Amino acid sequence: MKTRAASRILPPARKKLAGARNPGALFGQTISEAEVNEECAALGHAWRDRLFNPLVTLWTFLGQVLNADASCRDAVARVLPFLLATKGREASSDPSAYSTARHRLPEALLPSLTRTVARKLEEKVEPDGLWLGHRVKLLDGSSVSMPDTPENQAAYPQHTTQAPGCGFPTARVVGIFSLLTGALVDFAIDALRVAETTLFRRIAGAIEAGEVAVADRYFCSYADIARLQARDVHVVFRQHQSRKDDFRKGVRLGRLDRLVQWTKGPRLSWMTPEEHEALPALMVLRMIRFHCAVAGWRTRTVTVVTTLLDPRAYPARDIAALFRRRWEIETDLRHVKTAMHMDVLRTESPAMVRKEIWAHLLAYNLVRTLLWDAAAHHRLSPLRLSFKGAMQQIIAWGPVGALAARRGDLVLYYHALLRAIATHKLAYRPNRYEPRVRKRRPKSYPLMTKPRHQLRKELRKAHP
């Protein structure tokens, strides 16, 4: 099997970088000014020639989500020196103009650009870098919280077990990532009460014919597998716990490797009668069981089902190794939520929450692009370079970009940045495990179980 570390990469075209027309000139080869303007026009967005036009607003927004201090004031403070050095335009550091421009950006702009960057990055993978001739997509779900405002609570209510005023609005999210590039392909966002499988069905079209979808047991249902198979999408899913994996039945292909038949069950609540009728009466799937003799793993035995039925073209050991790579999506989600601080959002309206999430995802894909270019220049695997290290280099080199742009040295600056990113190599540690414990003790304050105004009243009574 060709894992991430073995994927072959293409060197980027050696073009002269675009002039310093915006704070994102470094990524001008990935997202051009013309692409941004064309997309805004296609979405019906009109704008005047202001300091914070759509292009400058976009890159200021991306710089904002890349920095730990994700305030509007800090974002404007970072972009103003660049604009002064490159355009000779001085402006107020008051963030209100930027905040207004950020609200005016079309909500569909950021998702469209995110998918465009992912597609461009996927095109750089050579055919011999595929997994047994297929592209592989990983899918999983998570959640993010946001400020406790009435608007956010209405769109993304807090968990039902929390008392009113004691929790935070929470959104459920599901993402599809590329195994070969690490880029995010598509993303779905909704309230916490919406199931991950429902969100996946909204974006399942992002997995194209001939590709392989890899997921955990939660997504392993008859209807979803049949719908994917009807589009010529292959699956490698962990078998759902409600099904018994009886290896005494079926056609034997090898040890712990069987062809089994699944029959269609009753119609589910989310399906229309026509959709249920369109499902096949039975499916032939391949069931494989393998053992994980790795210290620290919670599961020793795993059973997967797949539509890849040919044991010669797709040996059981390769399918087992592919499923073990499913853990890569956990790492990708950790990069977005932890390294980029998307786990706790800052915006106070549902529309801006969605924009903030997609700004994080677009920035994530752009960092992945830089990692790919750095690996191509230095003959490394892009997924053996540190994502956090690349982020740190981008933030640290940002102020130098204004000077390089003014002097016309953007190409030199770009290659120096790639060299710096390439120094942050990750050790190859397959099956690494760590105990889920914390050494640093948290503060011993009790959890909030009543609204703050009620606690204030009780405090005044106790200490008049």
Residue 8 pLDDT more than 60?
no
| Residue 455, domain member (yes or no) | no
Q: How far apart are the first and last CA of the chain?
A: 71
pLDDT at 410: 72
> What is the Cα–Cα distance from 2 to 4, expressed in whole angstroms?
7
pLDDT tens per residue, range 209-244: 999 999 999 999 999 999 999 999 999 999 998 888
Name the range with the highest mean pLDDT among 17-31, 139-153, 298-312, 372-386: 139-153
DSSP H/E element including 57? helix 54-66
Lowest mean pLDDT among 267-281, 424-438, 442-456: 424-438
pLDDT at 294: 61
Give the closest residue to 132 by CA, choosing from 217, 44, 235, 212. 212
| Residue 221, domain member (yes or no) | yes
Q: Is 267 left (phi over 0), alpha (psi -120 to 50) or beta?
A: beta
pLDDT tens per residue, range 73-97: 988 888 887 777 666 667 778 889 8
The verdict on 125 and 267 lying in the same domain is yes
Asked if residues 201 and 179 have their Cβ atoms less than 8 Å apart, the reply is no
- Please state the separation of Cα 204 from the chain's center in Å: 15
pLDDT tens per residue, range 314-358: 999 999 999 988 988 999 999 999 999 999 999 999 999 999 999
| Residue 461, domain member (yes or no) | no
Residue 13 pLDDT more than 60?
no
Contacts of 462 (CB under 8 A, 6+ apart): none
DSSP H/E element including 287? strand 282-291
| Residue position matching structure tokens 């060197």 | 11
Beta-bridge partner residues of 145 = 170, 344
> What is the Cα–Cα distance from 187 to 118, expressed in whole angstroms?
12
Give the domain CATH number at 179.
3.90.350.10
Contacts of 323 (CB under 8 A, 6+ apart): 214, 236, 238, 302, 304
pLDDT tens per residue, range 172-191: 999 999 999 999 999 999 99
The verdict on 296 and 204 lying in the same domain is yes
The verdict on 318 and 214 lying in the same domain is yes
Residue 415 pLDDT more than 70?
yes
The verdict on 304 and 373 lying in the same domain is no
- For residue 201, count other CB atoms closer than 10 A to its CB: 17
pLDDT at 79: 82
Residue 5 pLDDT more than 60?
no
pLDDT average, residue stretch 258-283: 93
pLDDT level of residue 14 (50, 70, 90 thresholds): very low
User: What CA–CA distances, in Å, run from 332 to 184, 214, 316, 461?
Assistant: 9, 14, 26, 49
The verdict on 123 and 86 lying in the same domain is no
The verdict on 142 and 250 lying in the same domain is yes
Q: Please give the residue that has the higher pLDDT: either 25 or 354.
A: 354
The verdict on 166 and 95 lying in the same domain is no
Go through the chain and tell me how many residues it has: 464
What is the three-class DSSP state of 402?
Answer: helix
pLDDT at 433: 60
| Residue position matching structure tokens 């201090």 | 69
| Residue 297, domain member (yes or no) | yes
User: What CA–CA distances, in Å, run from 324 to 102, 236, 330?
Assistant: 41, 11, 12
pLDDT average, residue stretch 38-45: 92
| Residue 224, domain member (yes or no) | yes
pLDDT level of residue 148 (50, 70, 90 thresholds): very high
The verdict on 276 and 401 lying in the same domain is no
pLDDT average, residue stretch 38-52: 87
The verdict on 330 and 379 lying in the same domain is no
The verdict on 123 and 103 lying in the same domain is no
**Residue 293's domain spans which residues?**
115-334
**Domain final residue, candidates 406, 422, 438:** 422
> What is the Cα–Cα distance from 387 to 415, expressed in whole angstroms?
18
How many structural domains does the chain have? Answer: 2
| Residue 269, domain member (yes or no) | yes
- For residue 275, count other CB atoms closer than 10 A to its CB: 13
The verdict on 138 and 272 lying in the same domain is yes
Rounded (5°) CA angle 224-226-230: 120
Residue 262 pLDDT more than 90?
yes
Strand duo 170-178 + 136-145: pairing: antiparallel
What is the crossing angle of helices 222-230 and 196-203, to 10°? 10
Residue 18 pLDDT more than 70?
no
Q: Please give the residue that has the higher pLDDT: either 408 or 250.
A: 250
| Residue 356, domain member (yes or no) | no
Q: Please give the residue that has the higher pLDDT: either 256 or 413.
A: 256
**What b/e string do you get for 205-229 counting C-beta neighbours within 10 Å, with b at 16 or more?**
ebbeeebbbbbbbbbbbbbbbbbbe
pLDDT at 396: 83
pLDDT level of residue 275 (50, 70, 90 thresholds): very high
pLDDT tens per residue, range 100-127: 999 999 999 999 999 999 999 999 998 9
What is the three-class DSSP state of 238?
Answer: strand
The verdict on 91 and 16 lying in the same domain is yes
Residue 3 pLDDT more than 60?
no
Rounded (5°) CA angle 257-259-264: 135
| Residue 453, domain member (yes or no) | no
